[in-house]
Amino acid sequence: MKRQKTKLAGLQKRKAISGYLFISPFIIGFLMFMVNPLFQSLQMSFSDVQLGDGGFQNVWKGLSNYYYAFRVEPKYVRELTEELSRMAINSVAIMVFSFFVALVLNQKFRGRALVRSVFFLPVILASGVMLKLDSSNALMAALAQTVKVNAQGTAGITDALRNILRTTGVGVRAFEELFKVIDNIYNVAISSGIQIIIFLSGLQTISVSMYEAADIEGCTKWESLWKITFPMVSSLFLVNWIYTVVDFCMRSDNKVIDRITTYMNVNLNYGLASAMAWAYFVLVMAIIGVSTAIISKGVYYYD
């Protein structure tokens, strides 16, 4: 009996060791290229970094880098608030849009494969440098404007709607934000590729028999959307929300990131750049933390 027990412990130990061997690249990389630089940059944000021949020195400066970033530097605070509010609004829009598109793409219709591949195209084409170059390309914007003006179709409808709502004065502020999102639908569409994939994968794991049962019981499509589909994919809302927010922070057309990179590469002010990056990071983390706590209250786990 005793021998058996030790043997089991031996097997478990062997398994544990091979498990550690498998994840060892991650552990080494994490310690070397994540934990170490993270602490270093935290330290740098509190100090004045002086470059020398053989290395660099951190001279303790206390909170003055943060003070400079928030009180002296003229554009940082404005860009920070702008980016954060843009992030909040766009992330919500991306979630709604991607869930809706995933619902549509999950239905069966002719040409589905083609439409799907068009929707996932931005995952490839609107990544990295492309996004920034596109957003600053004035010629393209002008041409798109020409097309919009010439084709008095959808653009006319949104404008007309906007005028009606403006003159009646219904919840002006909220509608302004909504119109901003609608005008921005291209950006929303191109940054929701991965989210659509994640939602689609979730939708496909819901068994058809559930819908059939609901159908027989007299449940309409609309009801089964809220009573079956929504709870079943609610955990993916959490995943997608976090992914969207994080993805937004890393986009190349983010102005805060631009400013940080400028301070680092052009002004060589590493301390200030770290302080700005940390302030941004802490704010984003706070937003993610609070929103995750709120969303996870509503998440329903099937099993």
Residues 219-258 contacting another protein, CB under 8 A: 235-236, 238-239, 242-243, 246, 249-250, 252, 257
Alpha carbon distance 13, 5 (integer Å): 12
Pick out residues in 141-200 that bind another protein (CB under 8 A). 142-144, 146-147, 150, 154, 185-186, 189-190, 197-198, 200
Q: By CB under 8 A, is residue 288 in contact with another protein?
A: yes
Cβ-based nearer residue to another protein, 164 or 285: 285
Supply the Cα-derived Rg of the chain in whole angstroms.
25
DSSP 44: H
- Token pair listed for 8: 């089991």
Smallest gap, in angstroms, from Cβ of residue 170 to another protein? 26
State the Cα–Cα distance between residues 192 and 95, nearest whole angstrom.
8
Site string for another protein, 94-123 (x = CB under 8 A): -------x--x--x-x---x-xxxxxxxxx
Dihedral angle sign, alpha carbons of residues 132, 138, 142, 143: negative
Nearer to another protein, 89 or 130 (CB): 130
Question: Which residues from 26-65 bind another protein, rule CB under 8 A?
Answer: 26-30, 32-34, 36-38, 40-41, 44, 49, 53-56
Select from 88, 264, 283, 287 the one that contacts another protein (CB under 8 A): 264
Q: Closer to another protein at the Cβ: 88 or 238? A: 238
Angle between helix axes 234-250 and 193-205 (nearest 10 degrees) is 170
Judged by CB under 8 A, the residue of 127, 184, 224, 291 near another protein is: 127
Structure tokens at 278: 């940390």
Q: Which is nearer to another protein, 35 or 172 (CB)?
A: 35
| Structural tokens at position 39 | 């602490």
Q: Which of 1, 21, 59, 208 binds another protein (CB under 8 A)?
A: 21
Distance CA 60, CA 43 (A): 9
Whichever of 38 and 170 has its CB closer to another protein, that residue is: 38
Q: Does 286 bind another protein (CB under 8 A)?
A: no
Pinpoint the alpha helices (H) of 106-128: 112-125
Q: Can you tell me the distance from the alpha carbon of 153 to that of 45, in angstroms, rounded to the nearest whole number?
A: 52
Nearer to another protein, 24 or 170 (CB): 24
Q: What is the dihedral of CA 128, 130, 132, 138, to 10 degrees?
A: 180
Using the minimum distance from each CB to another protein, give the nearer residue, 1 or 109: 109
Least Å distance between CB 169 and another protein?
30
In the DSSP assignment, the letter for residue 190 is H
Residues 201-220 that bind another protein (CB under 8 A): 201-202, 204-205
Smallest distance, another protein to C-beta of residue 226, A? 18
293: nearest Cα among 236, 238, 220, 212:
238
CB 142 → another protein: shortest distance, Å? 8
- Burial label, 196 (beta-carbon count in 10 A; 0-12, 13-18, 19+): buried
